[in-house]
Amino acid sequence: MQLQIIVVAISFILAALGVTGMYNGVYIPSVKLILLSGLTAIAIHLIVCRIRPNKNKKLDKLMGFAMTLFGVMLLSSFVYSSWKMEKFLSHLAMMKLTLVLLVVVAVYLNIVFIRAEISYKKKRGNQRIEEQPNKSYFEKRKEEKKRIERGEVRIILGGSTDNDDN
């Protein structure tokens, strides 16, 4: 468990520092470097999860958020390297605009995913607990007629108000 926490924390810190560094214009890594670092982080995370199974779902959600930040960095770096319209916006301004918009979208999509997962679990939990509805009078009579047609023998020893089979 400790190793998983360390791997996820390092991945998240690297992604957060990468986003802030790119926004401030301190260092804008190449697309290949971001792709390599993101794939390395996810590979190490998967290997650690295979060695020691993860029971903490919050770590998985944080790792997913870190991976979306790596994706945001990747796309922003791609925009920075391929932007050609210098007269309209500079490379840095377009990269910052892309970075801000994609970070907002990434945060929103992660929150939507978490909320959808929670509501799905609640719905599935309610479906498991839910009992089958009681059969109507007509359904009970149809079943009774089918039993009689099949020739099943049925002995009723007494009647009760609690007995649903009557």
pLDDT at 68 over 80: yes
Enclosing domain of residue 96: 2-129
The total number of structural domains that make up the chain: 1
Give mean pLDDT, residues 77-90: 90
Q: Which residue has the higher pLDDT, 151 or 166?
A: 151
Is the per-residue pLDDT at 166 higher than 60?
A: no
Residue 118 lies in a domain: yes
- 162 found inside a domain: no
pLDDT at 163 over 60: no
163 assigned to some structural domain: no
Average pLDDT for the chain: 87
The pLDDT assigned to 17 comes to 95
Kindly state the average pLDDT of the residues 96-107.
96
Q: What is the rounded distance in angstroms from the CA atom of residue 106 to the CA atom of residue 97?
A: 14
